[in-house]
Amino acid sequence: MFLRDRSDNPPVEKKVVSLRKHLRVIERTYVNNLDSDYTERIESLGKRFKYDENCQELWGEPEFSTLYGTPLFEQASPSQRLALNHLYWVGQYNHTANAEANTMLYNQVTTGVFEHIGGYETLCDELNFETSQERFHIATFQRIGYRTKLAVLGKDSLGNGSSKLRNSQKKIRKLLPKPLEKKLSTRWTSEESTSLQDGVARALTRVMYGRSPTYFSNYLSARMTQPVPTATGGLAGNTASPSVMKLITQVWGSSPFMACHYYVMRMVANMSLKAYEHQYFKRFKELERKGRDVALPTAVSHYHLLDEAFHTTMSQVIAQQVYHDMPEPTAAEKLIANLIVLQGLRGVVGGLSAWLPMTFRDDKYFMSPLYRLLQSPLFGFSQEDALYWMEKCLCQEHEGFHSNLRNHQALLATFQRFFVELDYLWPSNREVEPMTVGGSLERALHRNTQAFKDFLVSVE
């Protein structure tokens, strides 16, 4: 295969043997993903889900429960612990749904770049197929989450939950590729934005790449009269503000190297998901081996991991191998790629939660959800008691912290094995320094204590 660099020089042959090898991986991944029926099973399980038929069993291992290892968890009743195990599933898959909405958008943005380069047709087909799969995954997670929260926490805790669920599912439908858009009678619209933000994002991209449309994403080109599409939740929401994400959307859609770089960040989401999803997969297998009933959410996690295995393979191949076949990145692209990684790692894995297992963000982001949980029907605490337990769970050393530190070290090693292969990253990014810094019990206690003091002021 021949690829042209950014100049007008003749085509140059680059790493033919390596390219053929990972093209074979892409081809095999696409064929196997098409042949599987996991997405259909996930959708079917979601439609069948009723909380009262799945509420008597753990959905995951006990240590993957909300508030696990905290003083409050130690005093919780068996029924409360069961509910906390279920709520952990709901919280994690709400985050996963947001991350997969990111995938739906940025798969299409980057596919629009790869379409300009010969030899990547199968890669584009796989990414488009993944986009269609994500819609069914998200709908299932949302359905199970809504019904569980309604049963455990009560209607008042949801606000206008059913309306939010419908609006969310409408937005997800609008992210579908054109062939599926027509089938489902939907039409694309972007997130709300200001024309100034859109103009700045497009102008800065033109400064970087000039006005040449050689590689610019077909997906973005077709929407030049519309607001720049962007994501506000999931990995994107934790990486940068919506206005900055507009620029990042443009950059990921402007060159082959930057399109490949998106899959570095998608791999961060893939690895984070597997870190907690694999225990559901193992639980499913063990219960199945013993001939015991499996809670439907556990089965959903099992089949979702099988679907996501194909997606993870694609993320890794594109991020670590395909980028070598593309024109060399400019100094500006290397700088931007490193800044995105740095901010993404700080936002997603730059801290240590005291009460949410396998969560590595500062608890200052989760004060309000914890406060509402403690005052919900599950606990029914007064304001005074809720604040008392918040301080004990967030600002004092306990087993939950130490359990999460063990999770942290395992995921950090996984990240480091992945990032070491990316030669354009700064040494600090290859070593995943933001996560290393965030994995400190003393730091987490200090930051939680300060955040709790700030929270007290807000509820007085």
Place of tokens 């069914």: 136
**pLDDT tens-digit readout, 267-302:** 999 999 999 999 999 999 999 999 999 999 999 999
- 224, burial (CB in 10 Å: exposed 0-12, middle 13-18, buried 19+): exposed
Residue 356 has pLDDT above 80, yes or no: yes
User: What was the pLDDT predicted at 232?
Assistant: 80
Mean pLDDT of 241-255: 92
Taking residue 32's Cβ as centre, other Cβ atoms within 10 Å add up to 12
| Cα 407 to Cα 359: distance, rounded to the nearest angstrom | 9
Mean pLDDT of 180-189: 32
Mean pLDDT of 149-156: 92
Q: Quick check: is 6 in a domain?
A: no
Q: Quick check: is 99 in a domain?
A: yes
Mean pLDDT of 395-408: 98
User: What was the pLDDT predicted at 18?
Assistant: 46
Residue 10 has pLDDT above 70, yes or no: no
Q: Extract the tokens encoding 28.
A: 């095999």
Mean pLDDT of 153-169: 63
Q: From 140, 132, 57, select the one nearest 97 (Cα to Cα).
A: 140
Place of tokens 């939680």: 448
User: What was the pLDDT predicted at 118?
Assistant: 87
Residue 5 has pLDDT above 50, yes or no: no
Tell me what the pLDDT averaged over the chain comes to: 88
Provide the greatest CA pair distance for the chain. Answer: 73
Mean pLDDT of 239-268: 94
pTM for the whole thing? Answer: 0.88
Read off the DSSP letter of residue 278: H
Q: Quick check: is 419 in a domain?
A: no
Q: Quick check: is 241 in a domain?
A: yes
Mean pLDDT of 288-317: 97
Q: Quick check: is 285 in a domain?
A: yes
Task: Give the least confident one: 33-37, 182-186, 228-232, 358-362.
Answer: 182-186
User: How many domains does the chain contain in total?
Assistant: 1
Mean pLDDT of 394-407: 98
Residue 344 has pLDDT above 90, yes or no: yes
Residue 1 has pLDDT above 60, yes or no: no
Domain limits at 202? 18-337
Read off the DSSP letter of residue 190: P
Residue 3 has pLDDT above 90, yes or no: no
User: What was the pLDDT predicted at 155?
Assistant: 87
Read off the DSSP letter of residue 99: H
pLDDT class for 6, splitting at 50, 70, 90? very low
Residue 243 has pLDDT above 90, yes or no: no
Q: Residue 131 is part of a domain; what is its CATH number?
A: 1.10.620
**pLDDT tens-digit readout, 30-41:** 999 999 889 999
Mean pLDDT of 158-167: 55
User: What was the pLDDT predicted at 193?
Assistant: 46
Q: Quick check: is 125 in a domain?
A: yes
- For 148-164, b where at least 16 C-beta lie within 10 A, e where not — what string? bbebbbeeebeeebeee
Place of tokens 């359990």: 403
User: What was the pLDDT predicted at 224?
Assistant: 86
Residue 168 has pLDDT above 70, yes or no: no
Read off the DSSP letter of residue 210: T
Q: Quick check: is 255 in a domain?
A: yes
Amino acid 109 reads V
Mean pLDDT of 195-220: 70
User: What was the pLDDT predicted at 160?
Assistant: 57
Q: Quick check: is 399 in a domain?
A: no
pLDDT class for 47, splitting at 50, 70, 90? very high
Residue 411 has pLDDT above 70, yes or no: yes
Residue 194 has pLDDT above 80, yes or no: no
| Cα 460 to Cα 455: distance, rounded to the nearest angstrom | 9
C-alpha count within 13 angstroms, C-beta hemisphere, residue 266: 31
Residue 200 has pLDDT above 70, yes or no: no
Residue 329 has pLDDT above 90, yes or no: yes
pLDDT class for 127, splitting at 50, 70, 90? very high
